[in-house]
Every structure is written in structure tokens, then in C-alpha cells.
Amino acid sequence: MVTVMRTLMPKIGRIAAQMTLCALCVVPMFSVQATELNWPEQPFRYYADNDSLKDLLNNFGANYRVSVSVSDKVNDRVSGRFTPEDPAEFLDYLAQVYNLMWYFDGAVLHVYKATETRSRLLQLELLTARELRSTLISTGVWDARYGWRAAENKGLVYLAGPPRYVELVVQTAEALESRLLQKSNSTDELFVELIPLKYASATDRSISYRDQSITVPGIASVLSRVVGGVQTQITDSASVQTSPVNGLPAEAAKPRGKTASVHGGATVEAEPGLNAIIVRDTQARLPLYRKLVAQLDQPQSRIEVALSIVDISANDLRQLGVDWRAGVSVGNNRIVDIKTTGDVDNGDVTLGSGQSFKSLLDSTNLNYLLAQIRLLESKGSAQVVSRPTLLTQENVEAVLNNSSTFYVKLVGKETAALEEVTYGTLLRIVPRIVGDRFATRPEINLSLHLEDGAKIPDGGVDDLPSVRKTEISTLATVKQGQSLLIGGVYRDEVSHQLRKVPLLGDIPYLGALFRSNTNTTRRTVRMFIIEPRIVVDGIGDSVLIGNEHDLRPSIGQLNNISNNSAEFKSVVEVFSCTSKTQAERYQQDLLSQQKSSLLTQCQLPSGQVGWRVKVAECDLSQAECVRPSEEP
């Protein structure tokens, strides 16, 4: 027992007596709200004469062998005699008189000013407010005296109280949330699966041109964004030690690389060496990845795009019959009628037959126009500046950059730098097949950006060359066999020519009589012709891209097939009509490849009966069936 004796003056003694009486009267009022403290039953006596309240609390804790932490804001003074019987009631009494709040966490008694109350709003993801409260009560953290408001259906909990109490509640909630998350992740074992790709690219594709760069996302990036929150990484093929086996637990076939921190450890990795996707996730989610990859990994049609840049002299333009307000014609044949918005409302371009188009040329008229351009080119009145061709896939951007660069020196007060100036031809195009791709003339949608630039000598300030650029951005739809014509861009070219008499023309002053300067201006019209074309290899290509109009049954009904190539036979799965001896040899060749075949009758060109080999499953009960023997 700690007893502190003080010598009190008579006046102070009377005040102490009043304080003691007040204490005896007030303390029982807090017995209902008091928190039970399982401290040892030990009497406490304290006589104070203008002592610090912090000293009183420290002596109070020492009496019960409990550490006390008092806030620095508690600086009150006390006087009187204190003889409490219940520790909790005594603390509640002090809290009422001196505007305090206290909390015992099981080891330390924390005392604060009431103004130090803290509040927090908790968002519970996996844990419910009822479960959190039950855990707080069972662990002894809970204190009913302080604020607690919960919205069970929204996972929100609002709490307020002493800083230490709020801190313990938050730590408990975080620990329970973390445990539930780990438990949910460990419930479903993680598996690793390798998903190979046939057509699409697993990694991102970066296209750089001039000072710009674009990125075409690969399947790994697309898959991670679709699934949401899954970490994506690209693994160097040299760093992969072993190839994961489909369905093998992740602990036994864990790929090297970063570990994911979201979606319970799920990862999506691109393997460039195999052009495959490595997925690590729960067994229940793996079918989702397979389905998405199967839908994304589709063969794309190949589209060839040819760009023709043609310059025609404006003086000789009438020989070609080009009038950009009237149309394009060759001789008496009108190829394209171009109607501007001033002539008609829709600005259509029509062929001579009256069929409506949008600045389009069919193959016949295009060839006729190009033939006339070659004729003018032979006379020096036209020039095919460039005719590049590039091949790309459907929905994949292709970039053609043919440019030149010169540098301009920029001089500052104390520094100097070289500024890069680039000009030339730049074509960015994204082709896409719209509608029925297997139609007789499928339509091709072209999203293109065309930039054409040239350097003008002595056209700028301080004898620096200038750059003239023409930029065209459009979205057009053309049919197979048609071309997009963009024209009417006039260009003025100025040439300087110096003529002089040798030696005499170099004499100062007098030499001006023997030399002359001639400036010639040549005006040309530049036309851009864009020719898209779907590249089709034949039957094999139609089967590959999923042609619904399969020609194989029709080919199999033909009496004679002249194409005997192995590739053709592998596609149509039938052989040409031949003699029975030759047909039986074909069957033996197929048998060596572990393939079944069947003979059907056909008619030879001579009119005699022949035999055709068809690769198909058959039954040995059929007379002309040959199939590999089944192993016992």
C-alpha cells in the first residue's frame, strides 16, 4: 500500500474534508458505466496538496502494479484525500471531474484529455461488423463506453474513443481481414497452365517511326486488362528453367519472375520463345483464361496495301482529262465524275455508268488511268514519285515511313543545339474487313493517315530550307478490286538555272554581260492512289480462316482433279480419279502414315471406270477400306 501524508493547513484540511465527502457521494454514480478491472484487491490512500494529477495517476497505477501512460495535455492540479474502494469507479470519477478519458489495454492504463478523442471509419471487405465486435469482446479490447456504429450490409464501421483504443480496434480488423484473405487464397490451390498461341502474338508489339511510338497490345496485356487486376509480365525465354505442365500445382512448377499481389497471387505472363501465355491462378478460374485465349487467338486475313504517288504537270493535265471540279477522263471515256459540295449535296463521285461511289476507281478504270500516266511519263509530263506496297493483317496497324532528315543549328546566349527536321512520305493504315468476308467482293474499311512532305530549298529565313507537308486523315470503305483516289493537291516547284560563257562569265562586273539567271516555275498536281487487296491463297486459306462456304465436298464430287499436289490433297482429303492399281498404292502410302482410306468408283476421262482414294474413317467390313491395325 502506498500512503502519502501531507501536513495540511487548517483551511486546506477543511477543503480536504469536503473533497472526501464529495468523493464518497459522487463515485457511486459511475458504478453503472464503469469498466470492470480485474486488478488485485488492494486499498489505496492518497492525500494531495495541490499535487499534479499526473502524479496522482502514477501513484494510483503503482499501487496496483500497473503501468500508466498519461498524456502531456493532462496538467491539472488536485488537493484532497482519496480513498477509493473500486479502481474503475475512481477513474470514472476523475474523468468526470477533470474532463478525462481512460482505457486499459491489459498492460498499460492510458489516460487522455477528452479533447484527444480519435475517430475512424473502417471499410470491411471480408469481415463483418458483428464478427469484428465479437472478436473485440473475446480478446478484451472492446469497451462499450466509446462510440461504435456499424452498417452490416455495407461493411462500414464508425468508431471513436481514446487513441490507444482506436488503434487496437483498427489493428484487430486488419489482422482479421488479412487472415480471411489468406484463408480464401489457400482454399483453392494455385495451378500453372501454359496456353500456346497459334496466330496472335503473346507479347506487345512496338512500332517506332520518326519521333513517335505506338504499342500494339499482345494477348497477355489484353488478357490481364479483361480479367482485371492481374499482374502481367514478360519472361525472357532464356530465364525459363523448365516448361510448366498443364494442371501441375504451382508449388511444383512455379515460373520465375515477380509474384503477383492481387487477385490472390494470380499472374499472366507472356513467353516470347514459345509464343504462349503462362497463367497461374486457381483451378476454378483456368477455364476462363482458356476461353478468352481461344476467342482472341483467331486467324486474321492478310491485306496488301499499295500506295501510288503520281505527279502530273498542270500544263499537260488536260491531256489526261483531269478536272478536279468535273472529273477524270481519258479521251472520250469518263472514268470518274467528281461532284463537289457546290454541285450536289452529298459530294458523291460517280462512274461513267452512273453508279454512285466516293472517289473510287475499279480495276479496269484504274489500269486505264495508269496506262495514260505512263504515256505522259514517257513524255516527261508525269512522274510516279513512289509506289510502295506493304502487307499487314486485318485490324493490325501498318506503318510505312520513307523520310529524310536534316538538322538546323539553334544558337542561344550560352548554348547551342541541333533541331531535327524530318520530311518525306508516311503512311499509317489499319485495314478491316466489314460485312461478309467471303462475299464475291468483300468490303475493306481503311483508317489511314497519309503525310507527304518535301524540302523547299532557299525557302526560309537565313537561307534555311523550308518543308512543305500535306497531311490526309480519313476513314473510307472500298470493295475488293477498287482503289481510293485522292487528288487535286497542287505543288509549285521553282528551279534556278545559271547560264554563262566560260571564263568570261566569271569576270567581276563585266561578267554580268556574259551570264544570265533563269527562274522556272513548274506547277504539278499530285494524286494519291491507295489500292487495298485481300490476299487469298485458295482453298487452304478459306479453310484456315473458317470459311463457311467450304468447297471440299464439291471438289470431292468432281470426276477428275488435275492438281495432285500433296498440299491440295491434305486440304480436300481426296485424290484424283485413277486406275485401281494406282489407287491401291495411294492407300498403302496413307497406311504407312497411320491413316484410314476408302476407295470409291469414278469415271476416267477415257470413259472407263476408275477409282478415287478418300481419306476417311471406315470399317473393315467395307470392301475397299484400308485402316491401320489396332494394337492389342
DSSP string, 446-480: EEEEEEEEEEETT-SGGG--EEEEEEEEEEEEEET
What percent of the chain shows pLDDT beyond 70? 72
The yes-or-no verdict on residue 147 having pLDDT over 80 is: yes
Q: What is the pLDDT of residue 118?
A: 93
Cα-Cα end-to-end distance for the chain: 96
The yes-or-no verdict on residue 355 having pLDDT over 50 is: no
Domain boundaries in the chain? 3-115, 117-187, 190-298, 304-535, 551-626
Over residues 80-88, the mean pLDDT reads 85
Q: What is the pLDDT of residue 264?
A: 52
The yes-or-no verdict on residue 341 having pLDDT over 60 is: no
Nearest CA-CA partner of 338 in 470, 490, 485:
485
Strand order in the sheet with 333-338: 322-323, 327-330, 333-338, 349-351, 356-357
Query: What pairs with residue 525 in β-bridges?
Result: 312, 490
Over residues 312-339, the mean pLDDT reads 54
Over residues 180-191, the mean pLDDT reads 70
**How crowded is residue 410: how many other Cβ atoms within 10 Å of its Cβ?**
10
The yes-or-no verdict on residue 189 having pLDDT over 90 is: no
Q: What is the pLDDT of residue 567?
A: 47
The yes-or-no verdict on residue 519 having pLDDT over 70 is: yes
The yes-or-no verdict on residue 94 having pLDDT over 70 is: yes
**Residues 191-201: tens digit of each pLDDT:** 889 999 998 88
Cα separations (Å) of 345 from 338, 340, 348, 421, 606? 12, 8, 8, 41, 65
CATH number of the structural domain 117-187: 3.30.1370.120
> Mean pLDDT lowest for which of 165-174, 236-245, 266-275?
236-245
The yes-or-no verdict on residue 397 having pLDDT over 50 is: yes
Where is pLDDT greater, at 373 or 150?
150
- Rounded to the nearest 5 percent, the helix, strand and coil shares of the chain are 25, 40, 35
> Mean pLDDT lowest for which of 15-29, 140-154, 209-223, 504-518?
15-29
The yes-or-no verdict on residue 165 having pLDDT over 90 is: yes
C-alpha cell of residue 574: 481426296
Cα dihedral 16/22/27/28 (nearest 10): 140
Q: What is the pTM of this model?
A: 0.48
The CATH class of 3-115 is alpha beta
Q: Is residue 167 very low, low, confident or very high in pLDDT (cuts 50, 70, 90)? A: very high
Amino acid (1-letter code) at residue 470: T
**Residues 562-615: tens digit of each pLDDT:** 444 444 554 455 567 788 888 888 888 888 888 888 888 888 777 788 888 888
d(CA 418, CA 423): 16
Q: What is the pLDDT of residue 367?
A: 78
Q: Is residue 5 very low, low, confident or very high in pLDDT (cuts 50, 70, 90)? A: very low
Q: What is the pLDDT of residue 337?
A: 45
Over residues 255-273, the mean pLDDT reads 61
Q: Is residue 100 very low, low, confident or very high in pLDDT (cuts 50, 70, 90)? A: very high
Over residues 2-26, the mean pLDDT reads 38
d(CA 7, CA 9): 7
Q: What is the pLDDT of residue 569?
A: 52
Q: Is residue 111 very low, low, confident or very high in pLDDT (cuts 50, 70, 90)? A: very high
Over residues 172-190, the mean pLDDT reads 78
**How crowded is residue 249: how many other Cβ atoms within 10 Å of its Cβ?**
13
Q: What is the pLDDT of residue 537?
A: 60
Q: What is the pLDDT of residue 344?
A: 37
d(CA 520, CA 498): 11
**Residues 419-451: tens digit of each pLDDT:** 888 888 888 999 999 887 777 788 999 998 888
Average pLDDT, the chain: 74
Q: What is the pLDDT of residue 159?
A: 92
In DSSP notation, 103-134 reads EE-SSEEEEEEGGG-EEEEEE-SSS-HHHHHH
Q: Is residue 523 very low, low, confident or very high in pLDDT (cuts 50, 70, 90)? A: confident
